[in-house]
Structure formats: C-alpha cells, structure tokens
Structure 1
Amino acid sequence: MWLLALLIGLLSGIVIGLVTVGGSIIVTSMLMLMSAVFHLQLNMKQIVTTTAFYTLFTTISGAIYFWIQRLVVHKIVLYFGIPALLSSMISSLLANSLNNQVLQGIFAFFSLLAAVAIILPSSNKDLRTDMEFPYVISIILSIIIGTVGGMIGVAAGFLYMPIFLRLFRLSVKQAIGTGMFVGGMLCVGTILGKLSWDYIRIEVIVPLSISGIIGVLIGGKLTTIISEKWLNLLMCLIIAAIAVQTHIVFLADSLMVPLPVIITVSLIMSATFTWLIFKYNPIRERTGA
C-alpha cells in the first residue's frame, strides 16, 4: 500500500506543480479506488481528510517556489485566502454529518462547472494595477468555493483557476502560483474541521505527502520550460478528464446506474469536451496568427 500511495502522490504532485488543478482530485479518486479494490475501509470523510493533508503539504512546497519566481498576486491571496480558510472550516465540520453519496454528488457537480468554465476562452493578460479590484465579488466567490472545498477536501484549484484567469485576467503561471497559496489556506480550514483520529489515516497520509512534495517541485520546474499555451492546453485536458471521471464514479458508486448508461454518458461528455477544447482553446488562434 505504501508503494501505491507513493506513486499516486508523485503523479498528483507533478500535476499540481504544473497547473494547480487536478492533483487533489486525482488523489481523492485514487483513494476511493484503492479503498474499493484493496478493502482499505476508507470512508469518504477519511478520504477528504487525507486529501486535505496531502494538498496542504504539496501546495506549500509549490507556493514557495512560485513566490520566489514572483508569480503570486498578494491582494488576491489576502481577499480569497482568509474567507476560504474560515468557510472551509465551517463546511468541513458540517460535512461530518453528510453521507458519502451527497459528498460525491457535490464533487461531480462542481467538477463539471469548472470544466466548462476553464475550457471556454479567457484573456491571459496580467492584472493591471489601475483596474478596480473586485473586493466584494472576491470575498463572495471565495466563501462559496471554500465551502465546496471544505466539504470534499480539495484545494479547489479546479474552481479557482477559471476565476483567476477570467475575472482577474492573470497569466496561467500567475494563476497557478496564486492558486497554490489560496488553496493551501483552504486546506488548513478543512483540516481544522476534521481534527479527529476517526478521520486521520497516518499510514496513507505520510507516503502520499512525501512523494507529493517531490512531485510538486518537479512540476514547478517543468513550468519554466513549458510555454503558456501548452500549459493552458494541459489544464483543459486535465479538468475535462476529471469531470468525466468523477461523474463515472458518482453514477456507478452512488447511484448504481447500469453500465450501458454510464458508458453512454461518459462518451457524450468526452466528445463534448473534446469539441469545446478544439473549438475554443486559444492555442489554435495563436498558432494561426
């Protein structure tokens, strides 16, 4: 189990280091799969707690790297991070009374919204110092996302990234660095709501976190040699794959939907996302310019 946890942590860490989005969701999905296949008896609340610890350690290591590279927008960290910490702590406490099916449904729903939002075209211009900062909108959005992240145990990078790219017009690398700081603060709130040994599985958290930190450093280094347009494409592909995968798990595990229906839904979603990516992805416009 340690070897499998190390591999999952390393892979997810590289994804987090590259594009912020997807790493914690991969961990959540793989832990659910490990629990079912190897009979580890990990319930959804233990998975949420494990993912929160893993994501906290990996985002801290990645955030330091992007801070050194001056790719963190401090004002966004302040007005998104603090509300996210408080709201995630409250929702994490409330989620202790929810069953696995409800948590999986919330997870699947917001992954779909994030996929559509991040694939649609957005401006990658830097945040201008003379533009009016949307304080109220920032706090409201952060509370909403913090609530979701606290329930499902992720740093919610897959929700923050569309906002940072579209609302604040950050570059992809700025959004990644800023998202790591905000996501780390969200994870702190989630963990504070799960401070019980009933939810903490040390034998899973330790190998995941160690390999995850290494993976984030590798992913962060790769961002220096990969262009913005390819990072953007990778982000779209990851978030689309996550949306499809989470819906498959929800339909099969929680709703017990027949296999033919699951296959049909997954094919429709995959085809739709593929069409959206190739229709709206700005890479095509840049290469044709």
Structure 2
Amino acid sequence: MNITHILLVLITGFVAGIINTIAAGGSLLTLPLLIFLGLPAAVANGTNRVAIIAQSISATIYFYRKGHLEKGIGLILGIPACLGALIGANIAISISDHIFNYILAVMMLVTVIFISIKPKHYHADRNIFEFSLLKKILGSFLFFIIGLYGGFIQVGAGFFIISSLTILFGFSLTKSNSVKVFVGGIYIFVSLFVFIINNQVNWSLGMTLAIGNATGAWVGSRLAIWKGDKLIKIFLIVTVVIMAAQLFGINIF
C-alpha cells in the first residue's frame, strides 16, 4: 500500500464506522473499495470483517457503559445468527469473483431501498422473554437467515436486523441498534475464522481499515443525530449507485 491507499482506506473506514453505528450500510463503501484496490472478492469479504469486528467492539463498549446493551437478547438471537454465518461464509469462499461481484452489485442496489425507508419509531420496549414461543421461534429463524446473509456478504445486514427487531418485537431504535452492533460483532467474529482458515484475509489492509472503522464507531456512537441522517442517506445512495455500476462493468466516469 502507498500513502494514498492508506489514507483512502482510513477515511473510508472512518465514514463507514460512523454510518454503521448510526444506522447501517457502511460495508456499501468498504467492501467495493477493497475490491477496487485489487483484492479478490473472497479476500475483500474476509478483510472487511476485521474492520467490522473492531467497530462492533468500539460501539458495544459505549452502549454497555451507557447501560443500553441488551446482552440477553443479543446472546439468544446471536446463536442462530452464528450458525447461519458459518454456512454463509463457506458459500462466500466457494463462488467465483465474477458471480460475487454481480451479487454484491444487486444487493447494494436493494439496500438503497432500505436506506430510503424511514423506520417506524417504537417506544414500548419489552423483554424478549415476554413474547410468545411462536415469536421467539420466528425471531430465531430470521436471525439465522440474517446470519447466513451476513456470513456470505454482510452488506446491509444491519438494516435487516433493525427491521426484524422493530417489526417483530416492537423494540425502539436505541435497543435495536445496541442488539445490532452486539449480534453483528458476534456472528462476524465467528464467520471470520472461515476466511482465516482459507487464507482469505489481507491483514495489512484489514488492520488499517479497522483503525478507521473503530474510530468512526467511537465518534458515531457519541453523535446526537439531528438531520444528519438525511445527508448520510444522500451520500450513500449516490455512492452506492456509482459503485454498483462499476461492479456491473458500466463506466460512469
């Protein structure tokens, strides 16, 4: 890496860390960047997870210190998510770069829809143990699917976690966000071992990106968001469309 690459990775990681902590979707920036820097798709996928773990640790510590970390819920839903992530990660390292790039481009565009939707604000949080057995089973199944997707590609998985928790359990965005960073960190950590065992991690880029992501998560977890989400959505949508076009082989510039 030259100094330009290092700065680009650090800055992108910083922005992604803020976005991931405030809402989700930071991997829409970091994963395509790693591919454009020359990493094979599977290596980029594995390398990106090093940064996500660092960012999750940073944000989780903040939520824990502020008393917002829902460990019980996170552990219950994290188990099926980890099982799904192991399967998804094994699928990710077995497909060709060409197919992966097309899937990534499609999922980036799909995620734009979730970015554009304003989530419903719920206020009556309840403990997960208060819900019916059916909802617990459905929640476990949903998080298995989310883990499967997260282990495979991860892009936009945070939106799916927040949507599941708010729609199925009626959790507030604050509680959903704390569960998101905690569960996401757990299943990404588990899935990372699949990439490590198969030599699909570039540690120099991964650690550089991790510094940016962790710093961004530290800042993002402390920001009181007021109209900032609108600017982030616009920035993400424009960037995602450009990067998706590049992955499809369409040269915009």
Cα-to-partner distance string for 1:181-214 (whole Å, 9 max, x where unaligned)? 0110121122121124731212211211122211
Taking structure 1 as the reference length, the TM-score comes to: 0.74
CA-based RMSD of the aligned residues comes to 2.8
Q: Which residue of 2 aligns with 1:52?
A: 49
Determine which structure has greater relative contact order: mean sequence separation of CA pairs < 8 Å that are 6+ residues apart, divided by chain length. 2
User: Structure 1 pair 201/150, CA: closer, same or farther in 2 (3 Å)?
Assistant: same
Tell me, in whole angstroms, the C-alpha distance in 1 between the residues paired with 2:119 and 2:202.
41
Separation in 2 of the partners of 1:246 and 1:44?
Answer: 14
For residues 179 and 242 of structure 1, the distance between their equivalents in structure 2, rounded to whole angstroms, comes to 24
1:104 positional shift: 2.8
Mapped pair 1:9 → 2:8 = no
**Comparing 189-198 and 55-64, the one that deviates more:** 189-198
Which 4+ residue blocks in structure 1 deviate beyond 6 angstroms? none
Change beyond 3 A, Cα 1:152–1:219: same
Aligned counterparts, 1:143-158, within 5 A = 143-154=144-155, 156-158=157-159
Distance 1:131 1:91 in 2: 28
1:158 positional shift? 2.8
Larger Rg: 1
The answer for unaligned runs of 5 or more in structure 1 is 36-41, 264-289
1:86 positional shift: 1.8
State the AA in 2 paired with 1:17.
T
The AA in structure 2 aligned to 1:28 is L
Q: Secondary structure at the match of 1:22?
A: coil
Report the equivalent of 2:122. 124
1:114-146 Cα offsets, whole Å, 9 max, x none, are 443560652422323455472111111111111
Counterpart mapping for 1:59-78 below 5 A: 59-78=56-75
Pair 1:212 & 2:222 matched: no
Which is further off, 201-210 or 114-123? 114-123
Q: Which amino acid aligns with 1:104?
A: N
Q: Structure 1 residues 81, 218: CA separation in 2 closer, same or farther (over 3 Å shift)?
A: same
- Asked if the contact 1:7–1:211 (Cα under 8 Å) also holds between the matched residues in 2, the reply is yes
Identity of aligned residues (%): 25
